[in-house]
Amino acid sequence: MAIEDAAALGILFSPAYFGGDVADTLQVYQEVRLPRATKVQGASAKAAYNINERIGKQINKSPTMAHRTRC
């Protein structure tokens, strides 16, 4: 999360986007980052109780993949 936060702040405060008002820029940061941070924190809390819970983990349940074996 810290790397994502740093990247978001770097973009928002870059000359291409920064309008000169720190308070407004931080408000935009909060509106953009809060939903993602909340989602990641929730998934992290689930993972603390269920080792199989992973952010972005997908299990391929395709029947065509079931017959494959490791070489």
What average pLDDT score do residues 6-15 get? 95
CB 25 within 8 A of CB 18: yes
pTM: 0.60
Q: What is the pLDDT of residue 64?
A: 54
Q: What is the pLDDT of residue 71?
A: 47
- Among candidate residues 45, 22, 42, the one with its CA nearest the CA of residue 34: 42
- The better pLDDT of the pair 7, 54 is held by 7
Residue pLDDT, tens place only, 13-54: 999 999 999 999 999 999 999 999 999 888 888 877 776 666
For residue 59, is pLDDT > 70? no
